[in-house]
């Protein structure tokens, strides 16, 4: 009885491991017709060449892509250059690479495909398979950024056309790389904008609030000024896209201290923070804007007290963070538009925070907003405790 | 058998307390309207208590005493190794691991080697180690409930499994520091308080000692109840009173002479031995004299190749601790590398204090409950001693306290492990959200529970030792080389994990599946660390040296982050002038 169960259980374990390996290692189970296979092979080779090219036209990326591109063209030699120098050479006879930039010059100048004859290419070795070169320019946004040269025995019409097509495909990848880069620059610009965005209202209000204490309670006024200094130091720091939840909360504490100086007892704050999640790395200034919104929605434009509740709890491999107010609420449609990136008027930074979270952690990790007019607002997010590349 | 009421009450109380503290602590730890919550991170002492709470499992609570009772002083390496593993962790791993920002072992593999393949292999290893560690928890739970209340063995395991799955699914007991810290102090109390009474009773009894020349004897007329069929060997002819089925005949309170040789007692049989009789041993155990029992490397109790086994065990325990999934998760709670080191230091102190007690239980069990050697259920020693030695109401109450502690041990370790295993399953294997986490939790518990049904005869601490061996042969090389050797490559790490972890897992599967335990082969399979750990290191180094072009591109930056204290101003804003006080 016992032994039989052991055997069954061990079999279950083995089955599990085998299934796992089966899932992790995809096999080509259906091979298709020869034409299908040729298409698959071409597409597969192209897909291998794509990721290195998506880093832009660099020596490293070109070097890794050149091997696959040469396989795609089936030529004995292939060179990738930018407008100044050779970036990568793949194939026989390294000596030819040294001349690639000279071969490419006419094509890059005229922005069209050129054939370089044996007079310019062939070397002393009669057995060398490299006699002619077909040079195609790489064009990104109507600008020639480099060239792709295929070397072979003869410049057949087929080779010229194939080289042309491959160069256009490479150009498309480089354009996508450019797009990635500009998207990153955009996010950085937004982050800078967000840092700058905190100030005007808040700076003015804080300073007037502090001013009101200068005579009546100079000690408190001094403390508040120092808190204000620390707050701005954190908010305007230059380095790092990420910070720890502890740091972010410390800054929020300072922010709330200054707001309490202004609103007095009207502002009620509850913080429920599980200490286990304090070391979690979070995108810089990802909670602060939400708190600022909560204070505004909870208090401004209405009499009486407003409650703001900030909760951070531990949930296994993630931290759950939420900011809630019992204020006027927002129109859900407006929130939808803001999160969709269209409109960013009333809710400072909501769309920005949402976008940065999605960019870092993936689309599953956007902001969740629960609100209705008159029913308060709750904004929550999930943050994974570890994600490659995220370090405070 | 004493009144089971106390045992049932103790188990119920522990279960309720755990769940209640879980849900209340959730509220306590989070409700602060005070400012500066951000600076109130978990202190090293709390964190260390929590690590102790998750770490001290059935193996520590019950298993160590059982092994000492059976095999003698060599088994002291179990408590020593369980503790010393943290010394290795402290010196070589704790701070860099914390600075890596990794939450789980697969996270570390990915952070250091920048490879999804290594991450996935690490995930599979985490699941296997987690299952192997969960298995003895269920066996131990079954045993505890059987000794305390007399219900069948599988019920205790099922109870723990259900409670753990329930609490994981509902979100309670999820690595809440307070709950786990409470568990440590509960376990320490549950072992330490009875020890005081046991020692007083032992003193009052005239401080009986072991007989140097003979195997243990029954100190008084003793009735042994057989819970599962057992085959035992009589070395000294003895007259017993038998009720139940013995050697194919059913008796009813008949006096029968047991001759030298093997005898088979069926479930439910009761044998009453006279005082002074030599205790017959279960077939798989060998009787040994008090002198052999107390002598290191004597092979007492029937362990072959004690020298090899001991060194292999030391290697497994010293280097396996760092690869236990539920331990590393807790290091994340430390705010920085320095706090991680401090926490580890406190863990060493707490564990050192705890492990004094199982040793005392083991020695007293050799004197007062040698009948366990007949039934082979030596893991029950800790649970039986209070009733046997102190007796009466006090004995029952102390027994209930020990039972409660043991149950706390299963609950906390199992829930910690289940959360870790389920996290890895849902993140890397099933891929999905909360619903999947519940499915993963159920899966994480079901597999080891099923295996535990068929593995009732294994010593709890032995199986935990095997889990350590697999961890030592897979994650120890990954962590040590990953932290201290910049030339480690993803291919090398993958190869080392597969070869080391694979060999160790195969040896463990063979041992649990009932392969031979005698001779060199048996020793090599039962204690695989001594050969699998060096092989894993060797494979990782050799393969890495042959794949140097695959060294991760950011290795320098990664290693600086692992080793530089957080206070070093790397990539920080220029320093500000300190503001006036």
DSSP states along A78-89: EEEEESSSEEEE
d(CA A210, CA B580): 19
Contact B573 A315 (CB under 8 A): no
Phi, psi of B57 (to 5 degrees): -105, -170
CA-based nearest residue in chain B for residue A60: B553
Same domain, B408 and B520: yes
d(CA B399, CA B3): 11
User: In the structure encoding, which two tokens stand for residue A378, read together?
Assistant: 């709750």
The alpha carbon of residue B454 is apart from the nearest alpha carbon of chain A, in Å, by 4
**Are B227 and B319 contained in the same domain?**
no
Q: How far apart are CA B277 and CA B275, in angstroms?
A: 6
Q: Which residues of A133-159 are buried (b: 16+ CB within 10 A; e: fewer)?
A: bbbbbbbbeeebbbbbbbbbeebeeeb
Please tell me if residue B567 touches chain A, with a CB cutoff of 8 Å: no
B580 and chain A in contact, CB less than 8 A: no
**Host H or E run for residue B44:** helix B44-55
Q: Do B576 and A233 touch (CB under 8 A)?
A: yes
**Domains along chain A with CATH numbers:** 41-184 (3.30.450.40), 198-384 (3.30.565.10)
Task: Say how far residue A116 (Cα) sits from the centre of its chain.
Answer: 42
pLDDT score at B38: 44
Nearest to B30 among A6, A274, A316 (CB): A274
Using an 8 Å CB-CB cutoff, list chain A residues near B513: 6-7, 10
CA neighbor of B380 nearest in space, from B145, B186, B184: B145
Which of A6, A257, A315 is facing B454, going by the closest CB pair? Answer: A6
DSSP state, residue B498: I
Among the candidates B253, B278, B303, a domain finishes at: B278
Pick the closest to residue B171 from B30, B19, B384, B56 (CA basis). B19
Check CB contact under 8 Å for B514 and A3.
yes
Tell me if B576 is assigned to some domain: no
Helix (H) or strand (E) holding B219: none
Could you tell me if residue B370 is inside a domain? Answer: yes
| Nearest alpha-carbon partner for B553 in A61, A68, A243, A283 | A61
Is B131 in CB contact (< 8 Å) with chain A? yes
CA angle B355, B356, B359 (to 5 degrees): 90
Q: Which residues of B touch A6 (CB under 8 A)?
A: 451, 454-455, 512-514
End-to-end CA distance of chain B: 71
Residues of chain B whose pLDDT is less than 70? 1-3, 22-40, 171-175, 431-435, 455-457, 569-581
pTM of the model: 0.78
Residues of A with Cβ-Cβ distance to B107 under 8 angstroms: 386
Asked if residues A52 and A60 have their Cβ atoms less than 8 Å apart, the reply is yes
B234 in the same domain as B173: no
Given the structure tokens 């060194």, which residue do they identify? B311
Contact residues on chain A for B561, CB-CB shorter than 8 A: 391
- Parallel, antiparallel, or unpaired: how do β-strands A281-283 and A77-82 relate? unpaired
Residue B579 pLDDT:
47
Q: Residue A94 carries which DSSP code?
A: G
Q: Report which of B126, B117, B222 is spatially closest to residue B420, judged by C-alpha positions.
A: B126
Bridge-based pairing state of the strands A86-91 and A114-116: unpaired
Q: For residue B89, is it within any domain?
A: yes
* Strand-strand pairing, A306-315 and A267-273: parallel
Do the chains contact at B38 and A10, CB–CB below 8 Å? no
**Which residue carries 């698959």 as its tokens?**
A40
Contact status of B455 with chain A (Cβ, < 8 Å): yes
B32 touches chain A (CB under 8 A): yes
Task: For B9-37, give the DSSP string.
Answer: HHHHHHHHHHHHHHHHHHHHTT-B-SS-G
Token pair, residue B306, equals 């004690």
Q: What is the DSSP string of A269-332?
A: EEEEE-GGGTT-EEETTSSHHHHHHHHHHHHTTS-S-EEEEEEEEEETTEEEEEEEE-SS---H
Query: The domain containing residue B268 runs over which residues?
Result: 222-278
Closest CA to B180 of B447, B408, B522, B350: B408
Residues B255 and B371 in one domain: no
Closest Cβ–Cβ partner in A5, A256, A364 for B454: A5
**B549 in reach of chain A (CB within 8 A):** no
Quick check: B252 and B243 in contact, CB under 8 A?
yes
CA proximity to B359, closest of B191, B564, B123 = B191
Closest CA to A293 of A304, A308, A273: A308
Q: Residue A357 contacts by C-beta under 8 Å, 6 or more apart in sequence?
A: A283, A286, A365, A366, A367, A381, A383
Position A18 scores a pLDDT of 73
- In this structure, is the dihedral angle defined by the CA atoms of residues B421, B427, B430 and B434, taken in order, positive or negative? positive
Interchain pair B34, A271: CB under 8 A: yes
In a domain, B508, yes or no: yes
Q: Which chain A residues contact residue B171 at CB under 8 A?
A: 315
Same-domain pairing of B134 and B20? yes
- CB contact under 8 Å between A2 and B131, yes or no, is no
b (16+ CB within 10 A) / e for A28-40: eeeeeeeeeeeee
- Write the residue in A12, A271, A392 that is nearest to B450 by C-beta: A12
The angle formed by the CA atoms of residues A86, A90 and A94, to the nearest 5 degrees, is 70
> Same structural domain for residues B430 and B329?
yes
pLDDT of residue B29: 46
List, as ranges, residues 492-511 from B with C-beta within 8 Å of A.
509
- Of A4-13, A316-325, B200-209, least confident by mean pLDDT is A4-13
- Amino acid A305: pLDDT: 87
Instruction: Kindly report the nearest CA distance between residue A104 and chain B, in angstroms.
Output: 31
Give the one of B36, B42, B124 whose C-beta lies nearest to A276's C-beta: B42
- Smallest Cα distance from B327 to chain A, Å: 14
Distance between CA B281 and CA B232 in Å, rounded? 5
Name chain B contacts of A10, Cβ cutoff 8 Å: 451, 509, 512-513
pLDDT, residue B435, reads: 62
In a domain, B34, yes or no: no
CB contact residues (below 8 A), chain B span 204-263, against chain A: none
Q: What is the pLDDT of residue A57?
A: 81
Q: Which pLDDT does position A28 carry in this prediction? A: 52
Cα dihedral: A300, A303, A304, A305 (round 10): -10
Which residue in this structure is represented by tokens 């998207």?
A183
Q: Which residues of B touch A279 (CB under 8 A)?
A: 41, 332-336
Domains in chain B, number: 2
Q: Which of B256, B278, B300 is the last residue of a domain?
A: B278
Same domain, B363 and B447: yes
CB B262 within 8 A of CB B233: yes
Catalogue the long-range contacts made by A7-16 (C-beta closer than 8 Å, 24 or more residues apart): A7/B454, A7/B513, A8/B450, A8/B454, A9/B447, A9/B450, A9/B451, A9/B453, A9/B454, A10/B451, A10/B509, A10/B512, A10/B513, A12/B447, A12/B450, A13/B128, A13/B131, A13/B447, A13/B451, A13/B509, A16/B447
Interchain contact, A273 vs B32, CB within 8 Å: yes
CA angle B393, B394, B400 (to 5 degrees): 90
Contact yes or no for B529/B145 (Cβ under 8 A): no
Which residues are paired to B245 by β-bridges? B250
Does one domain contain both B309 and B247?
no
B176 touches chain A (CB under 8 A): yes
**Strand (E) or helix (H) holding A381:** strand A377-384
Residue B430 near chain A (CB below 8 Å) = no
Task: Determine the distance in angstroms separating the CA of B212 from the nearest CA of chain A, rounded to an integer.
Answer: 37
Say if CB B278 and CB B240 are below 8 A apart: no
Higher pLDDT, B287 or A54: B287
Is the CB of residue B31 less than 8 Å away from at least one CB of chain A?
yes
Question: What percent of the residues of chain A are helix, what percent strand, and what percent coil, each to the nearest 5?
Answer: 55, 20, 25
- DSSP class of B488: -
- pLDDT for the residue B203: 93
Q: Are residues B190 and B229 in the same domain?
A: no
Q: What span, in angstroms and rounded, lies between the C-alpha atoms of B443 and B453?
A: 16
Q: Would B266 be classed as within a structural domain?
A: yes
Per DSSP, chain A holds a count of helices (H) and strands (E) of 12, 12
Mutate to test the interface with A, among B30, B135, B444 (most CBs of A within 10 A): B30
Q: Which tokens hold the place of A136?
A: 């195609």
* CATH number of the domain to which B168 belongs: 1.20.1730.10
Distances (CA, A) of A14 to B441, B447, B527: 19, 11, 21
CA distance A380 to A258: 24
Range A163-179 average pLDDT = 87
pLDDT value of residue B470: 95
Q: Min CA distance, A267 vs chain B (Å)?
A: 12
B358, B271: one domain: no
For residues B236 and B186, membership in a common domain is answered with: no
Q: Which of B24, B28, B101 to mutate to test the interface with A (most CBs of A within 10 A)?
A: B101
Nearest to B174 among A257, A270, A315 (CB): A315
HEC-encoded secondary structure of B150-200: CCCHHHHHHHHHHHHHHHHHHCCCCCCHHHHHHHHHHHHHHHHHHHHHHHH
- Name the minimum distance, in Å, from the CA of A239 to any CA of chain B: 6
Tell me the average pLDDT across A355-378.
87
**ipTM beyond 0.95?**
no
Same domain, B419 and B368: yes
Q: What is the bridge-based pairing of β-strands B249-258 and B261-265?
A: unpaired
Would you say residue B573 lies in a domain?
no
Nearest-5° Cα angle at B427, B421 to B428: 90
- Partner residue facing B454 (CB), from A3, A314, A386: A3
Residues in chain A closer than 8 A to B437 (CB atoms): 316
pLDDT at B570: 65
Q: Which chain A residues are within 8 Å of B419, Cβ to Cβ?
A: 316
Residue B179 lies in a domain: yes
Residue A25, φ and ψ in degrees, nearest 5: -110, 95
**pLDDT the model gives residue B350:** 96
According to the model, what pLDDT value does residue B365 have? 94
What tokens appear for B146 in the block? 């059987």
Give, for B57, the enclosing helix (H) or strand (E). Answer: none
């Amino acid at each position: 009885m016992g032994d039989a169960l052991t055997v069954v259980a061990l079999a279950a374990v083995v089955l599990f491991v085998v299934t796992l390996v089966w899932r992790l290692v995809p096999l080509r189970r259906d091979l298709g017709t020869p034409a299908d296979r040729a298409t698959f092979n071409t597409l597969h080779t192209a897909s291998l060449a794509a990721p290195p090219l998506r880093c832009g036209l660099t020596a490293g990326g070109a070097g890794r892509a050149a091997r696959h591109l040469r396989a795609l063209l089936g030529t004995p030699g292939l060179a990738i250059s930018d407008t100044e120098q050779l970036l990568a050479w793949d194939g026989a006879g390294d000596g030819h690479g040294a001349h690639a930039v000279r071969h490419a010059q006419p094509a890059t100048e005229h922005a069209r495909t050129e054939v370089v004859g044996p007079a310019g290419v062939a070397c002393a070795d009669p057995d060398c398979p490299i006699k002619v070169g077909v040079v195609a320019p790489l064009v990104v946004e109507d600008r020639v950024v480099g060239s792709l040269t295929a070397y072979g025995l003869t410049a057949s019409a087929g080779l010229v056309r194939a080289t042309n097509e491959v160069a256009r495909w490479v150009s498309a990848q480089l354009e996508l790389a450019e797009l990635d880069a500009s998207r990153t620059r955009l996010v950085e610009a937004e982050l800078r904008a967000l840092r700058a965005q905190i100030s005007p209202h808040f700076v003015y209000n804080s300073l007037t609030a502090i001013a009101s204490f200068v005579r009546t309670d100079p000690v408190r006024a001094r403390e508040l000024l120092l808190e204000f200094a620390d707050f701005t130091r954190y908010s305007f720091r230059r380095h790092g896209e990420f910070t720890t939840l502890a740091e972010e909360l410390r800054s929020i504490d300072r922010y709330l201290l200054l707001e309490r100086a202004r609103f007095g007892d009207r502002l009620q704050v509850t913080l429920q923070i599980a200490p286990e999640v304090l070391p979690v790395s979070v995108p810089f200034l990802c909670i602060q804007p939400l708190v600022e919104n909560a204070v505004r929605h909870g208090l401004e434009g209405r009499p009486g007290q407003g409650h703001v509740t900030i909760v951070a709890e531990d949930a296994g491999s993630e931290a759950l963070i939420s900011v809630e107010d019992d204020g006027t609420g927002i129109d859900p449609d407006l929130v939808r538009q803001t999160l969709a990136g269209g409109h960013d008027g009333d809710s400072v930074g909501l769309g920005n925070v949402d976008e940065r979270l999605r960019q870092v952690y993936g689309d599953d990790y956007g902001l969740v907003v629960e609100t209705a007019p008159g029913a308060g607002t709750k904004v929550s997010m999930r943050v994974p405790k570890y994600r490659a590349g995220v370090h405070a | 058998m004493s009144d089971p009421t106390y045992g049932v009450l103790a188990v119920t109380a522990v279960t309720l307390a755990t769940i209640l503290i879980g849900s209340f602590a959730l509220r306590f730890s989070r409700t602060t309207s005070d400012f500066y919550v951000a600076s109130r991170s978990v202190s090293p002492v709390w964190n260390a208590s929590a690590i102790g709470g998750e770490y001290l499992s059935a193996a520590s609570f019950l298993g160590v005493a059982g092994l000492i009772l059976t095999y003698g002083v060599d088994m002291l390496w179990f408590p020593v190794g369980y503790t010393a593993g943290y010394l290795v962790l402290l010196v070589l791993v704790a701070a860099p691991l914390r600075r890596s920002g990794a939450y789980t072992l697969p996270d570390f593999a990915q952070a250091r080697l920048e490879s999804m393949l290594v991450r996935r292999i690490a995930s599979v290893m985490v699941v296997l180690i987690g299952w192997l560690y969960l298995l003895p928890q269920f066996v131990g739970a079954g045993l505890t409930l059987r000794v305390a209340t007399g219900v069948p063995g599988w019920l205790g395991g099922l109870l723990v499994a259900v409670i753990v799955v329930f609490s994981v699914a509902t979100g309670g007991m999820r690595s809440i520091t307070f709950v786990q810290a409470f568990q440590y102090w509960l376990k320490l109390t549950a072992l330490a308080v009875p020890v005081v009474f046991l020692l007083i009773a032992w003193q009052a009894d005239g401080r009986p000692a072991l007989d140097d020349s003979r195997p243990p004897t029954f100190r008084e007329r003793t009735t042994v109840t057989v819970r599962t069929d057992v085959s035992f060997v009589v070395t000294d002819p003895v007259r017993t009173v038998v009720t139940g089925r013995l050697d194919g005949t059913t008796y009813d309170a008949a006096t029968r002479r047991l001759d030298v040789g093997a005898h088979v007692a069926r479930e439910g049989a009761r044998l009453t031995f006279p005082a002074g009789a030599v205790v017959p041993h279960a077939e798989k155990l060998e009787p040994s004299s008090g002198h052999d029992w107390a002598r290191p490397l004597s092979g007492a109790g029937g362990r072959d190749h004690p020298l090899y086994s001991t060194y292999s065990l030391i290697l497994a325990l010293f280097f396996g601790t760092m690869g236990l999934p539920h331990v590393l998760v807790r290091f994340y709670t430390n705010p920085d590398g320095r706090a991680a080191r401090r926490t580890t230091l406190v863990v060493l102190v707490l564990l050192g204090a705890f492990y004094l007690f199982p040793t005392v239980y083991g020695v007293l069990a050799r004197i007062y409950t040698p009948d366990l050697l007949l039934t082979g259920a030596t893991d029950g020693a800790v649970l039986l001693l209070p009733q046997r030695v102190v007796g009466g109401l006090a004995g029952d109450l102390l027994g209930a306290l020990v039972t409660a502690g043991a149950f706390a041990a299963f609950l906390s370790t199992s829930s910690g492990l289940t959360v870790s295993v389920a996290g890895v399953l849902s993140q890397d294997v099933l891929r999905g959200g909360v619903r999947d986490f519940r499915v993963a939790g159920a899966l994480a518990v079901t597999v080891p529970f099923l295996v535990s049904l068929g593995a009732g005869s294994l010593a709890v601490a032995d199986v935990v030792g095997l889990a350590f061996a697999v961890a030592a042969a897979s994650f120890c090389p990954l962590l040590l080389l990953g932290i201290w050797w910049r030339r480690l490559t993803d291919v090398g790490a993958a190869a080392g994990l597969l070869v080391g972890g694979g060999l160790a897992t195969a040896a463990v599967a063979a041992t649990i599946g009932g392969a031979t335990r005698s001779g060199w082969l048996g020793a090599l399979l039962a204690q695989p660390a001594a050969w699998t750990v060096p092989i894993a290191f060797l494979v990782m180094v050799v393969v890495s040296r042959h794949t140097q072009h695959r060294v991760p591109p950011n290795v320098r930056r990664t290693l600086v982050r692992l080793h530089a204290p957080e206070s070093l101003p790397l990539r920080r804003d220029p320093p500000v002038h300190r503001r006036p006080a």
